[in-house]
Amino acid sequence: MESPFSLAVVVDDDPDIALAARLALRDLFERVETLRSPAELLPLLKKESPDAILLDLNFERGATNGREGLDFLGRIMEQEPDAAVVIITAHGAVSIAVEALKAGASDFVAKPWSNERLAATVRSAAALRRSRIDARTERGRASELAPSTETPLLGKSPAMERVRTLIDRAAPTDANVLILGENGTGKEIVAREIHRLSRRSSHPMVSVDLGATAESLFESELFGHVKGSFTGAEGDRIGRLKAADKSTLFLDEIGNLPLHLQPKLLTALEQREVVPVGANKPIPIDVRVVAATNASADVLADEKRFRQDLLFRLNTIEIELPPLRERREDVPILLDHYLSLYARKYDKPQRELPNHVLDVLVRHDWPGNVRALRHAAERAVIMADGDRYHIDDFPLPQRSEAASLAVVGDSLNLDQLERQMIERALRMHHFNVSLAASELGLSRGALYRRMEKHGL
């Protein structure tokens, strides 16, 4: 039988391990080369381009931390960005394997391995590499796609800068990503940004909202079905996992996936193949999964609600989006963007947003986060009259305590007003004295003296 791939390289200083790997892979590759040291691999990569590389992480006698292998992995990926590297790791060294995946490895196998598992893992890695190369040669097709109308990832707060850093590091890899955050924080925007910056961006991202899918249709939606497999299945249907072949699959509200279906998703991701409902033949897939959920870390850690082995597969890289109330400094940027956007959309004038109105909006807790702010801005653009916005133009059904303190009342007593303003600043910044002092234009010492004066 003709081998599907040309060359595999096994890098391991243990000749027995190298021989076992070569024998397990000989039917998949026309050639299987074995090397004793990763230093021998770098010159080889200048002359040949292996379909897959099987790399041990420890070479020095007694070494167990994988540092040498991780260092060479970085050099391999720098020299050959499309390399399909499968890491060989000792049983139980999961943390090192995860670090390798973040550094660009395609997958890992633990010693001792089964030959079937090793062959399946390396075959999938080689197929993934081939798809990367195909995607790059087809990159010109991307210009034919309609330009994205998605909302950009807005904000300059430290919290959002951390999110951008994680996106920039995760996107070029094929590591699965789990996005955590409350409703309306922009999880899908982050998923689309990861896809846009990935090697799979020439293919459209495929999304499925598990929170809006009937439980009876989960399996058909994800894996597809064949004609006649159940009542109403009048024809074959490709599932979302196959539809996302060579692209990114965004699984929104992954926490809604029923427990009894979680093993099937795990198997599909591990084996990189799906079996449609009613079929008995697996279909190979090459997908990168980005999942999102508003479930808390405690919920995800509950084995009665979510399988931990599936969670391990999904959260190779984890990105947590902050709620808007924790990045209030971004509210003016978001308002400016959405007010301008909807003014153009509805052919309305660009109105002034007075400081006292902006002050209330910044202090609002925004329970619906960015989504709620966007809807409020749209409503304000439609309902406003005159050349400036008023607070009543913005629907704020759930005013935060800080916002309710924006008007301090009719008292003209200076001591009372000072106390109210200090309380307002402290509450606004969750009693962080440094931030409250900055808000009030005071030094920390001056604010402490005033706090003492007013019994705060």
Q: What CATH code is carried by the domain that includes residue 342?
A: 1.10.8.60
In a domain, 147, yes or no: no
* pLDDT of res. 37: 87
Do residue 170 and residue 318 come from a single domain? yes
DSSP 229: S
At residue 182, φ and ψ (nearest 5 deg) are: -65, 165
Express as a percent the part of the chain with pLDDT over 70.
86
Considering its fold, how many domains does the chain have in total?
A: 4
From residue 443, alpha-carbon distances to 274, 314, 359, 453, 454 in Å are: 62, 46, 22, 15, 17
Question: Which residues on adjacent β-strands are paired with residue 319?
Answer: 179
Rounded to an integer, the average pLDDT of 181-186 is 91
Distance CA 6, CA 148 (A): 39
pLDDT tens, position by position, 1-41: 456 788 999 999 888 889 999 999 988 899 999 999 888 99
At residue 207, φ and ψ (nearest 5 deg) are: -115, 145
Who has greater pLDDT, 424 or 387? 387
Who has greater pLDDT, 113 or 400? 113
Rounded to an integer, the average pLDDT of 202-216 is 82
Do residue 126 and residue 25 come from a single domain? yes
Tell me which amino acid residue 2 is: E
In a domain, 151, yes or no: no
Going by pLDDT thresholds of 50, 70 and 90, the confidence category of residue 216 is confident
* pLDDT of res. 5: 84
In a domain, 374, yes or no: yes
Do residue 318 and residue 335 come from a single domain? no
DSSP 258: -
* pLDDT of res. 194: 95
Rounded to an integer, the average pLDDT of 274-291 is 89
Do residue 166 and residue 291 come from a single domain? yes
User: Looking at the predicted structure, is the pLDDT value of residue 134 above 80?
Assistant: no
User: Looking at the predicted structure, is the pLDDT value of residue 235 above 60?
Assistant: yes
Do residue 420 and residue 380 come from a single domain? no
Question: Which residues on adjacent β-strands are paired with residue 53?
Answer: 9, 85
Tokens of 39: 């230093």
User: Which pTM value belongs to this model?
Assistant: 0.56
Distance CA 124, CA 115 (A): 14
From residue 429, alpha-carbon distances to 185, 434, 436 in Å are: 20, 9, 6
Do residue 169 and residue 283 come from a single domain? yes
Who has greater pLDDT, 45 or 144? 45
Do residue 125 and residue 95 come from a single domain? yes
Do residue 318 and residue 329 come from a single domain? no
Q: What share of the chain is helix, strand, coil (3-state, %, to 5)?
A: 50, 15, 35
User: Looking at the predicted structure, is the pLDDT value of residue 303 above 60?
Assistant: yes
Buried b (16+ CB within 10 A) or exposed e, 384-419: beeeebbbebbebeeebebbebbeeeeeeeeeeeeb
